Amino acid sequence: MDYSFLSVLDKLIDRVPLFLKILEKIESWFHERKEVLEIDVETLKNLMNLYKIFEKLKEEERLLENKEIRALFENAEKFFEKYAIGWSSKRGKYVIIRKDYEEFQRYLEKIITLKKAESKSFFFITTLDIGFNYEELKTTPKYLEEDLVQVISRLPSNIKFEFISLINLSIHIEKLYLDGRMEEAENIKKSIKSVYGDFGLKFLNLFQRKYLKTFLRTLKEKDPLTMEKEIRKFFEEDTRYIFFIHKDMTIDDIEKIKIKVKIALQNKENYVAIHSLGEATLIAESIIKDIEKNKIPEEYTRHMVDKPTDYKTFTEKGEEASVRDFSVIWYKGEAGKRLFGFLLNFV
């Protein structure tokens, strides 16, 4: 018996009444009066999820043999044929628009003629399954401490756009972790890797772990040339032996990290650290166990973190659980102490 198939079927059947109710409600509102309907984030998320299910059902025809799921599929098909979804800058709201609304048709024609021409307003078009994530990134305010805002505004021009973009993404991902939206965070991390490579992920991890934030503060009084030099040193030298363990790492990746850490400790590098979160903590624990089979040079101070974070995750049953942090740091000398201070958020 195909248990995963049955589990998908069961979960989906449970959600059918909710989705049908939402579609019915929207339909009745439109029937009463309007061509444009403002909706809240929750309704948008439900429609986004319904769209994802709708697309999956097109590929999994087997599921359509079930009467309730077929009804949902057909209703969703009609709905998506009839309505478009988006964000109105003027209203500051998510909206549903009747596709056959004349004004909307004119609006689309206007977009078509905009090709290659400069338009004054900044707006985008994407698919329904990702639109909300784009919109959140575009419209959610990003908060940073005053001194960091000042440092960022003075970054050297050759790295400025990249750094500002990565800080923007780092703050956004932090929010997703705090909201328990791990899957969306992971998806954005993949896009960071594809655009900025390993540097992008390192940036994100160092920012999340406070190293980067605290380091940037030390640049407050520096001129652009010194800033650039110190930034390069920070990424290429100081943080070379900080490792972030990910749950999808291959055995080969893990073995490489073990070797690098062992060599770094043998060579008495100033700062060696292994950080992990959530599911990756089990991998990190096994790495540490293996490394500490060998004697660690006595110059090092060892610091271990093993505690829940403010990040949330949800179990398969939908119960909220906190994400665990497991980190081990070995540091020595003034340079090591300085980096350890960055982790603890003091300069």
Partner 1 sequence: MMEKSQDFEEETFDLFLTRKDLEELLKKMGYQIDSTGVIIDSETGRPVKGIKGEEINIKKDRDFAVVFGSHIFVRNIAEFSHLLSEKNLIIFKREE
CA dist 239 and 211 (Å) reads: 9
The DSSP line for 332-347 is: -HHHHHHHHHHHTT--
Minimum Å distance from CB 216 to partner 1? 12
Minimum Å distance from CB 136 to partner 1? 9
**Looking at beta carbons only, is 192 or 245 nearer to partner 1?**
192
Minimum Å distance from CB 15 to partner 1? 19
Helix (H) or strand (E) holding 95: strand 93-98
Minimum Å distance from CB 270 to partner 1? 31
Asked whether the beta carbons of 172 and 142 are under 8 A apart, the reply is yes
Indicate the pairing of strand 242-244 with strand 271-277: parallel
Helix (H) or strand (E) holding 312: strand 301-314
CA dist 77 and 24 (Å) reads: 13
Task: Give the HSE-up count for residue 345: Cα atoms under 13 Å, Cβ half-sphere.
Answer: 6
Q: How many residues does the chain have?
A: 347
**Looking at beta carbons only, is 67 or 138 nearer to partner 1?**
138
Task: Count other Cβ atoms within 10 Å, centred on residue 330.
Answer: 26
**Looking at beta carbons only, is 138 or 302 nearer to partner 1?**
138
Minimum Å distance from CB 75 to partner 1? 15
**Looking at beta carbons only, is 191 or 266 nearer to partner 1?**
191
Rg (CA), the chain: 25
Query: Any residues with CB less than 8 A from the CB of 203 and at least 6 apart, and which?
Result: 163, 166, 170, 196, 212, 235
**Looking at beta carbons only, is 12 or 192 nearer to partner 1?**
192
**Looking at beta carbons only, is 125 or 225 nearer to partner 1?**
125
Minimum Å distance from CB 135 to partner 1? 6
**Looking at beta carbons only, is 33 or 317 nearer to partner 1?**
33
Minimum Å distance from CB 324 to partner 1? 27
